[in-house]
């Protein structure tokens, strides 16, 4: 299986490509091999470069580093995510564990951008969980109780105020959380690549085909060479399953998103010149929609079971039409043809939305499956799995390991059938919000 990404992601600066790309072309050996160079793998490599100075460290990716989901997301660095209920103490305790991890994720990204003076359009603007349906107020009120108990600053808003803040009359109810950051994911991940420690060797466009343990070593077969390593960290997220890793605990989903050109002065005025904002849907299959700092509108409103290694241009065009409608519904006064880029990206899911962070065998480690919170949690998990692989412990590892573990998934074909049925059901429930 090859991985083909479309070259149309609005966050990737295709005009300013890196020039120092190295492809694996012979057999090598190393102390640490990290497979996958997104937020998780880059962060693991950075940490290992700092703590294992005399070891040979290789980071390798099937495509260009950072150009998977890590560049293709919506750029929300989240402190909270919305789930139904959380009324009992047990649920509250579990939700707190989740937000403790988000908090650590924000801290680790913040530390990185401060240390390396990264410009990634960081904006502590907070975020909105919004719905056009007034009846969803009940869900938001329950969520508000949870947030109050855990001390998260937030408030509930109605149509007029939302119209003023977002420039659209579409939403009738929302919960605004003060925490949560909006950023430019392409710039953040690029900075992680540009600041990799010198003792990390990066190979790109080098697909891992197979791996097996051999005596005390792990032997990895790539398209154009083999790497024999003492320890390996798998950070391939949506492609863990295709490598046979934790196969009964994770599955990939394909998302698509579109971004418009910057709105003209007149168009921007017509929607009330709002400040940068980000809306997440109350219903899971609703649209994520963002107004960027440079007046572009980003929308993501599809999630589906699809071949994770490629989406064709014609299939992408169909998703783009859905996104055009999503924008039109919210901003009828804007022209029809303002979408400038449409792209797909792969996320990894588990049944109970819990992440994977594990030593799966002697010297074999894996971190992944963050659903929609991989910017912070992926960066955190990458760093901490590197520390775990070095046989150290931290309070962050203890916090991560206190979370609920992912639960078992049924085998194929039942799995895909179950996921597809669930997605159809969620899509119907969210049809007004797409
Ligand atoms: C449209 C979209 C919107 C999202 N919105 C948000 C958001 O707003 N906030 C948020 O926090 N998260 C969001 N996410 C999720 C987030 O992008 C991911 O959780 C995060 O990027 C995971 O990082 P990662 O490094 O673990 O995985 P990835 O970035 O997916 O990196 C994995 C890498 O592994 C490589 N790889 C895979 N298989 C192989 C192989 N066989 N050999 C070699 N290399 C391989 C891939 O090429 C890839 O580069 C979104 C995702 C998408 C697609």
pLDDT in tens, 168-194: 999 999 999 999 999 999 999 999 999
Which 8-state DSSP code applies to residue 244?
A: T
Q: Report how far residue 405's alpha carbon sits from residue 413's, in angstroms, rounded to the nearest whole number.
A: 24
For ligand 1, pick from 68, 189, 381 the residue to mutate: most ligand atoms within 8 Å of CB: 68
pLDDT at 371: 84
Per-residue pLDDT, 372: 84
Which of the four pLDDT bands, split at 50, 70 and 90, describes residue 211? very high
Structure token pair of residue 8: 């149309």
State how far the Cα of 53 lies from the Cα of 172, in Å rounded to an integer: 55
**Ligand 1 pocket test: which of 73, 206, 224, 383 has the largest number of ligand atoms within 8 Å of its C-beta?**
73
d(CA 344, CA 71) in angstroms, rounded, equals 11
Residue nearest to atom 1 of ligand 1 (CA): 73
Q: Is 19 exposed, middle or buried (0-12, 13-18, 19+ CB in 10 A)?
A: exposed
238 lines ligand 1 (CB under 6 A): yes
- Output the residue whose Cα is nearest ligand 1's atom 53: 345
Q: What is the pLDDT of residue 87?
A: 61
281 CB near ligand 1 (under 6 Å): no
Residues 170 and 234: their CA atoms lie apart, in Å, by 42
Ligand 1 in reach of 36 Cβ (< 6 A) = yes
> Quick check: helix, strand or coil at residue 101?
helix
SS3 content of the chain, % helix, strand, coil (to 5): 35, 25, 40
225-234 and 28-35: which strand pairing?
A: parallel
Ligand 1 atom nearest to 1, measured from its CA = 41
CA distance 103 to 100: 5
Backbone dihedral angles phi then psi of residue 123, each to the nearest 5 degrees: -140, 115
The conformation of residue 15, written as its DSSP 8-state character, comes to G
Residue 110: pLDDT band (50, 70, 90) is very high
57 lines ligand 1 (CB under 6 A): no
Region 58-63 average pLDDT: 98
- The protein residue with its alpha carbon nearest to ligand 1, atom 50, reads 73
How high is the pLDDT of residue 341?
97
Sheet holding 297-304, edge to edge: 154-158, 173-177, 127-131, 277-281, 288-291, 297-304, 251-260, 339-349
pLDDT tens per residue across span 258-292: 999 999 999 999 999 999 999 999 999 999 999 99
Atom of ligand 1 nearest to the CA of 222: 42
DSSP symbol at 407: P
Does residue 105 line the site of ligand 1, with CB under 6 A? no
Q: Mean of the pLDDT values across residues 358-366?
A: 97
Closest-lying ligand 1 atom to the alpha carbon of residue 375: 11
- Split at pLDDT 50, 70, 90, the class of 387 is very high
Report d(CA 148, CA 363) in Å as an integer. Answer: 42
**343 CA: nearest ligand 1 atom:** 1
Nearest atom within ligand 1 for CA of residue 38: 25
295-319 average pLDDT score: 96
412-423 pLDDT tens trace:
999 999 999 999
Average pLDDT, the chain: 96
The CA distance from 129 to 414, in Å, is 32
Beta carbons within 8 Å of 90's beta carbon, 6+ residues apart: none
Are the CB atoms for 69 and 237 separated by under 8 Å?
A: yes
Please state, in angstroms and rounded to a whole number, the distance separating the CA atoms of residues 309 and 296. Answer: 28
């Amino acid at each position: 299986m090859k991985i083909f990404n479309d070259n149309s992601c609005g966050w990737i600066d295709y005009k300013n490509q890196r020039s120092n790309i190295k492809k694996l072309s012979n057999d090598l050996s190393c102390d640490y091999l990290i497979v996958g160079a997104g937020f998780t793998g880059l962060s693991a490599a950075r940490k290992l470069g700092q703590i294992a100075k005399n070891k040979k460290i290789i980071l390798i990716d099937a495509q260009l580093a950072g150009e998977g989901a890590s560049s293709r997301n919506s750029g929300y660095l989240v402190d909270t995510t919305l789930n139904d209920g959380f009324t009992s103490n047990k649920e509250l305790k579990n939700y707190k564990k989740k937000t403790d991890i988000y908090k650590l994720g924000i801290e680790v990204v913040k530390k990185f951008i401060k240390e390396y003076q990264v410009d990634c359009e960081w904006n502590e603007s907070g975020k909105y969980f919004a719905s056009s349906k007034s009846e969803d107020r009940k869900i938001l009120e329950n969520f508000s109780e949870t947030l109050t108990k855990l001390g998260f600053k937030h408030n509930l808003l109605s149509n007029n105020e939302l119209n003023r803040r977002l420039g659209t009359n579409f939403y009738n109810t929302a919960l605004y959380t003060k925490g949560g950051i909006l950023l430019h994911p392409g710039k953040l991940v690029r900075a992680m690549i540009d600041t990799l420690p010198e003792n990390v060797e990066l190979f790109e466009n080098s697909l891992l085909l197979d791996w097996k343990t051999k005596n005390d070593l792990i032997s990895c077969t790539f398209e154009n060479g083999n790497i024999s390593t003492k320890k390996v960290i798998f950070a391939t997220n949506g492609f863990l399953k295709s490598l046979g890793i934790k196969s009964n605990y994770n599955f990939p989903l394909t998302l698509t998103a579109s971004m418009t050109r910057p709105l003209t002065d007149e168009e921007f005025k017509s929607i009330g010149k709002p400040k940068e904002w980000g809306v997440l849907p109350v219903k899971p299959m609703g649209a994520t929609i963002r107004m960027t700092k440079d007046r572009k509108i980003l929308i993501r409103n599809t999630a589906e079971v699809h071949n994770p290694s490629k989406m064709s241009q014609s299939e992408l065009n169909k998703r783009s039409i859905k996104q055009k409608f999503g924008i039109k519904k919210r901003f009828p006064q804007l022209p029809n043809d303002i979408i400038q880029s449409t792209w797909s990206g792969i996320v990894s899911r588990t049944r109970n939305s819990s992440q994977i962070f594990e030593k799966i065998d002697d010297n074999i480690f894996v971190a992944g499956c963050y659903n929609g919170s991989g910017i912070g949690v992926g960066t955190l998990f990458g760093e901490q799995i590197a520390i775990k692989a070095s046989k150290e412990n931290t309070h962050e590892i203890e916090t991560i390991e206190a979370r609920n573990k992912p639960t078992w998934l049924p085998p194929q074909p039942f799995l895909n059938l179950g996921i597809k049925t669930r997605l159809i059901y969620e899509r119907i429930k969210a049809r007004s919000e797409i």
